[in-house]
Amino acid sequence: MTDKRITTKITDGGRIVIPAEYRRALALNTGDDVILTLEEGTISILPRTEAFRRAQKIVTRYTKNQNLSTKLIEERRQEAANE
């Protein structure tokens, strides 16, 4: 989908209809969670699954090939041994 703008209305209760083309492009379905961001007068809609994917990508950059759960278990064992 190329960048394009559409006009829609805000209905009772502050509801906005997301056009079908946009929902398909974002793989959104009825009942899906989305994250709204308000920044500099603009509202962005991010599917929650995409937010998780982006967060995982950031964490991966800092953990490169580390098994974090194993590392955490080892730290907890050391703390318990020191008590």
CA 12 to chain CA mean position, Å: 27
Which DSSP helix (H) or strand (E) runs through 22?
helix 20-25
Q: SS3 of 32, please? A: coil
Over 90: is that where the pLDDT of 15 sits? yes
* 62 contacts: CB under 8 Å, gap ≥ 6: none
Over 90: is that where the pLDDT of 1 sits? no
What's the pLDDT tens digit per position in 18-58? 999 999 999 999 999 999 999 999 999 999 999 998 888 88
CATH fold of 10-82 reads: Pemi-like Protein 1; Chain: D (2.10.260)
* Amino acid type, 44: S
What are the sequence ranges of the domains in the chain?
A: 10-82
* 37 contacts: CB under 8 Å, gap ≥ 6: 43, 44, 46
